[in-house]
Amino acid sequence: MYVTPEQFTASGKAGVEAILGVASAQFAALERLNTLHFEAAKTAFEDSVGYARALLGAKDLQEAVNLGSAAAQPAFEKALAYSRSVYETSTKANGEISRLLEAQTAEFTKSVNSMIEKFAKGAPAGSDAAVAAVKSALAAANSAYDSFNKVAKQATEIAEANFAAAAAASRPMRKAA
């Protein structure tokens, strides 16, 4: 079996498209994260200016202490909302990249299987064992990849559950404050 220039070019184009797809997804996630960071910094600055002005207007120490207590809860809630947004953005980006890589892996596997089948048809007599070994190795690699994907998805689900539990655990603190 021979690899034609068209097959080589198509493979190269597919690889470049996959890289560009991942880069595009990462850039979009970076853009969303930068927007989140900027908005959080802007809000924190505005809140700090308001708090400083309120402190300057405090008539006594008790009023200053009350202002500090009153400012703590909204700051905590904003920090929690910010971390939730960062987490959601990261999870979304991870999902997009995973989908792109899964599609690329499926296409690569299909292409390799097709090449193995073509090779097997034109292979000399007695090479059946070598073709079977290559097929077995490819199947083992696919199985390992699938196992890795399952573990990664389980880890993501555990992280999501932990984040949800942490967010839920913070709710009683907000009510108690």
Q: What percent of the chain has pLDDT over 70?
A: 92
The DSSP secondary-structure symbol of 124 reads P
pLDDT in tens, 34-45: 999 999 999 999
φ and ψ of 126, to 5 deg: 90, 0
Alpha helix (H) ranges present in the chain? 5-56, 61-122, 128-176
Residue type, 159: A
Whether 55 and 67 have beta carbons less than 8 Å apart is answered as yes
Express each pLDDT in 61-109 by its tens digit: 899 889 888 888 888 889 989 988 998 898 889 888 888 888 888 887 8
Domain ranges across the chain: 5-176
Q: Please state the pTM of the whole predicted model.
A: 0.64
